[in-house]
Amino acid sequence: MHRGLYDSGLRRVARAPRPLVVVGNLVAGGAGKTPTVIALVSLLRQMGRTPGVISRGYGRAADAPELVDARSRANDVGDEPLLIRLRTHAPVAVAARRIDAAQALCAAHPQVDVLIADDGLQHRALARDAQVIVFDERGAGNGLLLPAGPLREPMPQRAPERSIVLYNAPRPTTALPGFVATRTLSGLVTLDRWWQGDAADAQAWHDLHGRRVVACAGTAVPERFFAMLRERGLTFDAIALADHADYATLPWPDGIDDVVLTEKDAVKVAPERVRGTRVWVAPLDFGIDPAIGPMLARWLS
């Protein structure tokens, strides 16, 4: 019924000021949208485009459009939009209405020639020129819609037009043909240096051997992060937090030598809040197939 209201014209579909790529997933919970957005920004730049990113900014109290910069606070703009801004330096705008974010971003950054929407696959009120559907290890789960299953909308027999299917998993997890992303943790960087934009260092893995380490993850699937740390040979106590945990109180106990965070958690921890514990950030290296580029080029021209 929701889709039919837009397909029939009973509800108006707005168009963004620039061509729009929507990144989303069919299953509830995080499947890897944010790292996909970051990877798409890099790919579009390699194609000679100037991308910007729009988002609703999960958890923010305000509805009005706001431009995100390095001085923004996660509570004000959302943790994922702030992370995207810090990682890519691309223009990012948030608003309760995605069309408002798109208009505000393009007005402030007229050089932007393509927009990426972080989430919004089921948001029919904004027209899209292309979409990337992200699946993780869960695939389509039991194939049922919420609340009986994980699906936000029915699983299609084939990918919709102008759609790219991307698997944030070691191999495809549905019958839909698509691309498989690669994900690695190449190194660590201390929290203060991460905020300064420094790169991760692979030597840091060895520096943590034999020390008392805690790893924290406030993501939709914390175990995914913990498994990647174990693959790097790290021994640690795991603290799994709720997705988008606000870090109003630091979750690790006193007396810990070292703490390792995801980037999504790091955006909510200012270095001056940390005392007596060395805090590390493990940036995610997320790779997508360059063959996606020509497909987007056709749809965004």
Q: What is the pLDDT of residues 244-266, one digit of tens each?
A: 999 999 999 988 999 999 999 99
Q: How many domains does the chain have?
A: 2
pLDDT tens by residue, 116-136: 999 999 988 999 999 999 999
- 49 and 108, same domain (yes or no): yes
- 149 and 114, same domain (yes or no): yes
Q: What is the DSSP string of the chain?
A: -HHHHHHTTSS--B--SS-EEEEE-SBSS-SSHHHHHHHHHHHHHHTT--EEEEE--TT-S--S-EEE-TT--HHHH-HHHHHHHHHH---EEE-SSHHHHHHHHHHH-TT--EEEEES-TT-TTB--SEEEEEE-TTTTTTSPBTTTSSBSSPPPSSPPTTEEEEE-SSS--SSS--EE-EEE---BEEHHHHHTTPPPBTTHHHHTTTS-EEEEE-SS-HHHHHHHHHHTT---EEEE--TT---SS--SPTT-SEEEE-HHHHTT--GGG--SSEEEE---EEE--TTHHHHHHHHH-
- 145 and 25, same domain (yes or no): yes
- 128 and 250, same domain (yes or no): no
- 41 and 164, same domain (yes or no): yes
pTM, two decimal places = 0.94
What CATH number corresponds to the domain at position 261?
3.40.50
- 79 and 152, same domain (yes or no): yes
What CATH number corresponds to the domain at position 25?
3.40.50.300
- 43 and 129, same domain (yes or no): yes
pLDDT tens by residue, 197-252: 999 999 999 999 889 999 999 999 999 999 999 999 999 999 999 999 999 999 99
- 234 and 124, same domain (yes or no): no
pLDDT at 139: 97
Residues of the domain holding 27: 2-182+287-300
Local confidence band at 61 (pLDDT 50, 70, 90 cut-offs): confident
